[in-house]
Amino acid sequence: MIFLTIAGACKLHASTTEVCSNCQIKTITEAIRISRPGDTLRVMKGIYKEGTITVDKPIYLQGIDWPLLDGENKFEIMRIISDNVTVMGFRFRDVGVSYISDNAAISLEAVKNCRIANNKFENSFFGIYAKNSSECDIVNNELIGNALVEMSSGNAIHLWYSKKMIVKDNVVKKHRDGIYLEFVDESIVEGNVSQNNIRYGLHFMFSNHDKYLGNTFSNNGAGVAVMFSRNIEMTNNTFELNWGTASYGLLLKEIYDGKIIKNKFLYNTIGIYGEGANRIEIMENEFMGNGWALKILGSCADNTISKNNFISNTFDLSTNNSRNYNNYDGNYWSDYSGYDLNKDGRGDIPYRPMKLFSYLVSRVEPSIVLLRSFFIDIIDFAEKVTPMFTPPTLVDSEPLMKPWKNVADN
């Protein structure tokens, strides 16, 4: 009863304050100082140069006609240190670059139930930086950086030691990493577009029980990196046009018990690169036009690779081990030339997806110059008939005659 009385009293006394150059209150800092918990601050169109604005009360900050908060290339722009803060409808520009502190357009420090939505960020060092926070929403923001060199640039959305966060429907471009998570658990990254970042479109480490749904990662320096994490679900994402000598659509390093389902890997140097990836379900994905669709190293075991479409990749599969500890049954391979006499939709002849030339390239990289030569066709055919170098158990014993339909319908 006491709590309800206090909450009701706060709501009853909540007020709205307008901020503009012609208003009684001319600065956001002053409006926050005189506000009460639950108040709404309506910030009108204009340019606000106030150094670092500290939000230490649960208030609603609403921008009208896109007011601009300018960091003048010197300051962190807004620091939120209170729970239950909402920031909507602002432009943030020119955060100060620092090699000592991670300056951000908006930083969230040890807070919960905050919402950062419908804002625009230009030339940020870090865009949105949340640390030791939980149950916050970062939704429908546009973050366009100006990153040129990795050492002097920050990440668009950076989460550290946080829990139950939602990062949804944001557009992030031209930062070091588009979205970065470290020690972030039970969170959802959904519907974001991350492209033209100089390192990773998405980079996360030591983060467990997270979901990545319906995102697009395009034309980033090295695609997406998933490291030292458990129980990760990646569904309905698109990894495309991530090209470079050390690039890939998706890197899996020391990751366990995950699901990679109904994603599209299109025109990457490597679709999925696995090192120390174990007990992963890789199912119902489409791999098209990649240099290597899969590079699964010998340190990967107990993975299920099934119901995927492998179409027009230079190499469908490569490994560095003479043994195979994974299951590849039930995929569609565009290079498969077998037959199906009993008409059950599965080839009667097992398919060996790893070519000898792929094995040679993994050992001697300069040999790639022999690609498409007649000599390579001969040795690949000989290895297929009598495997001597490629793992004899690396075989799809039930190759599909037609592409898996669920991927095409996705």
Long-range contacts of 319-323 (CB under 8 A, 24+ apart): 319/295, 319/354, 319/359, 319/362, 319/391, 319/394, 320/362, 320/363, 321/297, 321/391, 322/389, 322/391, 323/298, 323/391, 323/393
pLDDT at 383 over 80: no
- Size of the chain in residues: 410
Q: What is the pLDDT of residue 386?
A: 53
Q: What integer is the mean pLDDT of 50-60?
A: 97
Q: Report the distance separating Cα 200 and Cα 253, nearest Å.
A: 14
Q: Report the distance separating Cα 202 and Cα 234, nearest Å.
A: 12
pLDDT at 378 over 70: no
pLDDT one-digit tens code per residue, 116-130: 999 999 999 999 999
Q: What is the pLDDT of residue 9?
A: 46
Q: What integer is the mean pLDDT of 222-251?
A: 94
The token pair at 83 is 């729970």
Higher pLDDT, 85 or 151: 85
Q: What is the pLDDT of residue 323?
A: 84
CA distances from 380 to 319, 328, 364, 374 (A): 15, 19, 16, 10
Q: What is the pLDDT of residue 408?
A: 39
Higher pLDDT, 359 or 218: 218
Residue 150: CB partners within 8 Å, gap ≥ 6? 176, 198, 199
Question: What's the pTM value of the predicted model, to 2 decimals?
Answer: 0.89
Q: Following DSSP, what letter does each residue of 149-161 receive, concatenated?
A: SGGG---SEEEEE
Q: What is the pLDDT of residue 384?
A: 58
Q: What is the pLDDT of residue 209?
A: 98
The token pair at 376 is 């390579």
When mean pLDDT is compared across 66-70, 111-115, 172-176, 313-317, the lowest value belongs to 313-317
**E strands of 81-165, at which residues?**
86-88, 91-93, 104-109, 115-117, 120-122, 126-131, 137-139, 142-144, 157-163
pLDDT at 217 over 80: yes
Q: What is the pLDDT of residue 3?
A: 45
Contact between 197 and 220 under an 8 Å Cβ cutoff? The reply is yes
Q: What is the pLDDT of residue 405?
A: 83
Q: What is the pLDDT of residue 150?
A: 82
Q: What integer is the mean pLDDT of 147-164?
A: 92
**Of 144, 228, 124, 245, which is closest to residue 182 (Cα–Cα)?**
228
Q: Does the structural domain 57-67+74-409 have CATH classification 2.160.20?
A: yes
CA distances from 302 to 92, 93, 264, 394 (A): 47, 48, 22, 13
Q: Is 113 exposed, middle or buried (0-12, 13-18, 19+ CB in 10 A)?
A: middle
Q: What is the mean pLDDT of the chain?
A: 90
Residue 377: CB partners within 8 Å, gap ≥ 6? none
pLDDT one-digit tens code per residue, 279-316: 999 999 999 999 999 999 989 999 999 999 999 998 99
pLDDT at 18 over 60: yes
Question: At 373, is the pLDDT very low, low, confident or very high (cuts 50, 70, 90)?
Answer: low
Q: What is the pLDDT of residue 322?
A: 78
Sheet order of strands, 202-205 included: 53-55, 78-80, 104-109, 126-131, 157-163, 179-185, 202-205, 224-230, 250-256, 270-278, 292-296, 315-318
pLDDT at 320 over 80: yes
Domain extent listing, the chain = 57-67+74-409
Q: Report the distance separating Cα 132 and Cα 237, nearest Å.
A: 27
Contact between 303 and 327 under an 8 Å Cβ cutoff? The reply is yes
When mean pLDDT is compared across 46-55, 252-261, 268-277, 397-406, the lowest value belongs to 397-406
**E strands of 312-380, at which residues?**
315-318, 332-333
- Do the strands 193-195 and 211-213 form a parallel or antiparallel pair, or are they unpaired? unpaired
Q: What integer is the mean pLDDT of 220-227?
A: 94
pLDDT at 240 over 60: yes
3-state SS, residue 11: helix
Question: At 37, is the pLDDT very low, low, confident or very high (cuts 50, 70, 90)?
Answer: very high
pLDDT one-digit tens code per residue, 181-199: 999 999 999 999 999 999 9
Q: Please, what is the Cα angle at 166 between 127 and 51, to 5 degrees?
A: 25
Q: What is the pLDDT of residue 407?
A: 46
Q: What integer is the mean pLDDT of 87-109?
A: 94
Residue 9: CB partners within 8 Å, gap ≥ 6? none
Q: What is the pLDDT of residue 7?
A: 47
**Of 189, 186, 188, which is closest to residue 200 (Cα–Cα)?**
189
Residue 181: CB partners within 8 Å, gap ≥ 6? 159, 160, 162, 187, 189, 202, 203, 204, 205, 207, 210
Q: What integer is the mean pLDDT of 19-48?
A: 97
Q: Which range has the top average pLDDT, 88-102, 228-242, 356-370? A: 228-242
The token pair at 79 is 């620091």
**Of 331, 337, 346, 335, which is closest to residue 396 (Cα–Cα)?**
331
Identify the residue whose tokens are 């604005």: 53
